[in-house]
Structure 1
Amino acid sequence: MRVIGVGDNVVDKYVYKQTMYPGGNALNFSVYAKQLGVDAAYFGVFGDDAAANHIIKTLNGLEIDLSHCRQHKGENGYAAVDLVDGDRVFIGGNDGGIQKDHPIVLTKEDIKYIKTFDIAHSSVYSDMDAELHKIKEAGVLLSYDFSNEYTDQKLKTVCNDVDISLLSCGQLTEEEVEALLKKTHSYGSTLSIGTMGSRGSMVYDGENFYNQKPYFVKPVDTLGAGDSFFTAFILHYLKGKKESDIQAELIKRSLEKGAEFAAKTCLVDGAFGHGLSY
């Protein structure tokens, strides 16, 4: 299996200790897939500052393919983060930095490259919603993280191009999560996934709902928990689909794999470590 994260990258700047860690939804997907033993690539936009250089150096060290990334003069994306009892609190940022001025526009060559992967993963923070249809039309399985940045219009527009939708639903009741996942499915996503923080996660496949409680640990840092949960879930799910496993049992096992891996992520500073003082 080969996977690619397409879109956002940042450094998460932990202001209270003046340390920055590589991150971003699309980038994290690539890194977590690599940690799980899968061939992974990342395709995004970098600046040319110390933050960008640190991310590039880290990904090269992890042997993640960056061959199609863009780099421009300017400030890389960053988010300012504080920690309260091990939980992440975002306190600012630069809205993607250089990515705002140079968003990804997929060329025919880019699409040819992306077609060599089993799944591409993007996000609401990647500034490339208008390009998603090119990936979908190329026949590549596409997943997308809405985080908690979704409106009905956003879902209606994006889900038509997205096979697997991931939504942060910690602020919703279980009944509201069920209604949201049904709606997401009706707009075009085959699989809809809601993460609910300490209450776990829920999946809807168009017929049934599946729930998973989290693996409880005393967290060092919850940053990246959702991304790592999704990565482990979807990789196990796709492997099982190739082996023609029974859908219900496959989703249940995949949810367990996701919860287990997310718990391990919560024991690491930043999304996946590799901190650098700034």
Structure 2
Amino acid sequence: MKVIGFGDNVADVYLHTRTRYPGGNSVNFAVYAKQLGIPSAYLGAFGNDEIAAFIRQELTSIGIDLSRCLQRDGENGYAEVNLVDGDRVFVGGNKGGISTQLPPVLSKDDLTYMKDFALIHSGCYANVESELPKLRRLDALVAYDFSEESKFRTDDYLGRVCPHIDFALFSGGHLTEEEITQLASRVRVYGVDGILVTRGSRGPLFFCGGETYAGTVEYVEPVDTMGAGDSYLTAFLIHLVQSGWKKNQLPSREAILSGLQKAASFSAKTCLIDGAFGHGQSF
């Protein structure tokens, strides 16, 4: 089993400590999978600046396959993070830089390479919606992160993305349970088999096969919550695939329940380190 993150990469730049960390939804997925013992890769576009070199260096040291990545002339993505009233919040950045301005267009060679992967993960900030139909030619399951912004929950956007994916993730800490249920119903219309909605300390809800599953969280005193949702998603997805989930086939109830628990434990550990997965560099 191998998995791949397809999309953006950024440096999370912590202004209050003058430290930057590698990150980005697709990168985090690849790294967390590697931490769980799964061979993983990342496919995306890097810039040609200092931040790009830093991220590539750290991902290579972790053992992430970057062999199909592109390097383009331009500024790599970064997000500025600061400490506001005790919480780390995003305060600026360049909206993904070159990785979203000129995202990869999947070639025949790329798709041949991706045939070896059981699971592909991407997200709404990667600007790769046009490439998702190509992934449907593969046997891999496709997961997609819609984040928390309402613009990624419109009928137009769901209609562009959902027919080409198997698993949808939403951040729904600001939504009521009724709103979450309605959202899941809208997504299910497009044939999406699994819908996970994280709700922070309230625990996630997972919709699958007409059933609703309530997950739990493991409470820790967090050092940094960066990457908590990504790590939860990664651990949950990998457990489902390892338990036999395949395209057009629902995971078992037992796999779902045990996967939700494993994901909670893994996500809690992520909250005990700085950055999404450490590897900080002072600047």
Please say if residues 166 and 194 of structure 1, whose CA atoms lie closer than 8 Å, have aligned partners that are also in contact: yes
Output the amino acid matched with 2:125.
Y
**1:213 and 2:216 aligned:** yes
The equivalences for 1:1-278 within 5 A come to 1-84=1-84, 87-149=87-149, 150=152, 151-241=154-244, 247-278=252-283
SS of residue paired to 2:244: helix
Give unmatched runs, 5+ long, in structure 2: none
| Count of matched residue pairs | 278
Tell me the C-alpha RMSD between the 2 structures.
1.7
Identity of paired residues, percent? 50
Q: Give me the whole-angstrom Cα distance separating, in 2, the residues matched to 1:93 and 1:26.
A: 18
Give unmatched runs, 5+ long, in structure 1: none
CA 1:122–1:190 in 2, change beyond 3 Å: closer, same or farther?
same
1:179 positional shift: 1.5
Measured against aligned partners, the alpha-carbon deviations of 1:163-210 in whole angstroms (never above 9, x if no partner) come to 100011011011211221122121221111100111110110131000
Please say if residues 82 and 91 of structure 1, whose CA atoms lie closer than 8 Å, have aligned partners that are also in contact: yes
CA 1:176–1:81 in 2, change beyond 3 Å: closer, same or farther?
same
1:41 positional shift: 0.5
Q: Give me the whole-angstrom Cα distance separating, in 1, the residues matched to 2:211 and 2:29.
A: 26
Identify which range, 245-254 or 48-57, moves more after superposition: 245-254
Output the amino acid matched with 1:47.
G
CA 1:61–1:190 in 2, change beyond 3 Å: closer, same or farther?
same
1:102 positional shift: 1.7
Q: Give me the whole-angstrom Cα distance separating, in 2, the residues matched to 1:215 and 1:85.
A: 24
Please say if residues 44 and 69 of structure 2, whose CA atoms lie closer than 8 Å, have aligned partners that are also in contact: yes
SS of residue paired to 2:267: helix
Q: TM-score, normalised by structure 2?
A: 0.94
Q: Give me the whole-angstrom Cα distance separating, in 2, the residues matched to 1:241 and 1:86.
A: 42
Q: Give me the whole-angstrom Cα distance separating, in 1, the residues matched to 2:64 and 2:101.
A: 25
1:86 positional shift: 6.3
Q: TM-score, normalised by structure 1?
A: 0.96
Identify which range, 241-250 or 112-121, moves more after superposition: 241-250
Q: Give me the whole-angstrom Cα distance separating, in 1, the residues matched to 2:226 and 2:114.
A: 28
SS of residue paired to 1:256: helix
1:125 positional shift: 0.8
Please say if residues 100 and 125 of structure 2, whose CA atoms lie closer than 8 Å, have aligned partners that are also in contact: no
Please say if residues 86 and 222 of structure 1, whose CA atoms lie closer than 8 Å, have aligned partners that are also in contact: no
